[in-house]
Structure 1
Amino acid sequence: MLKPFYRRAVEAEDRLSRLEANLSSKKEAGNEEHVKVTTDLQSKLENADAELVAEKEKAQKLVGENERLQYRVVHLLRALKEADLKLEQVSTQKQLESLKLQDS
């Protein structure tokens, strides 16, 4: 009388084992896909970080170069003003000499 119940219990256990195995394999396949996506994203993030570091270094070099160029511009402008002033003084002195010669 218990044999049919026992047989059905064994069949149910077999089905449950197959379902668990199927579910486990699906989880592993899903996990593999998640691992692949995660690895891909990590790789992209590392590349982006490397690019960011390179761009920061490039920006620092450009800032340094800009400061040097601004320094040169300031000194060139100062030298130009001094040259203009000397030229004006020479021109004024020549005019004065010319006036003195005319007065004499």
Structure 2
Amino acid sequence: MASENLSVLEETLKPFYQRASQAEERLARLEATLAAKKGHPADSANQDYSELINEIQSKLKDTCAEMVLEQEKNKKLAAENAKLQYRIHHLVQAVRDADDKLEKKS
């Protein structure tokens, strides 16, 4: 009975062993392909492009941060400009009122 159970177990596991064996073969082929590509001159060019892309992304990030700072400065200057225009408007109005009073006295 034990040998019968062992036989049934082996038959049940047989497809799993086959799939595992096939997976190992595919993995070996993939590893061989990868190893062949690593020594390929195009790999060096890809690395150069990768470094260039990283450098450009870094510069873009720095530029974006600088742009945000400049936008904040621009907002502050616009607010200050609006305040100054408000003051100029009232100063001009005060001068006109003073001129009108002088004309009436003369």
Quickly name the TM-score band, shorter chain normalised. Answer: 0.5 to 0.7
Q: Which residue of 1 aligns with 2:89?
A: 81
Report the equivalent of 1:95: 103
Computing the radius of gyration from Cα coordinates, the structure with the larger value is: 1
Aligned: 1:71 with 2:90: no
* % same residue: 8
Cα offset for 1:96? 1.4
1:46 counterpart residue number: 54
Greater relative contact order (Cα < 8 A, sep 6+): 2
Q: CA deviation at 1:29?
A: 7.8
What is the RMSD computed on CA atoms of the aligned residues?
2.1
**Residue aligning to 1:31:** 39
For residues 20-71 of structure 1, the C-alpha deviation after alignment (integer angstroms, 9 at most, x for no partner) is xxxx9xx848733122111111100100100110110111111111111111
TM-score normalized by the length of structure 2: 0.61
Consecutive unaligned residues in structure 2, runs of 5 or more: 1-31
How many residue pairs were aligned? 73
Normalised by the length of structure 1, the TM-score is 0.62
Describe how 1:10-29 pairs up with structure 2 within 5 A: 28=36
Segments of 5+ residues of structure 1 without an aligned counterpart are: 1-23, 99-104
Give the match for residue 18 of structure 1: none
* Equivalent position of 1:21 in the other structure: none
What is the CA–CA distance in structure 2 between the aligned matches of 1:39 and 1:83, rounded to whole Å? 65
Aligned to 1:57: 65
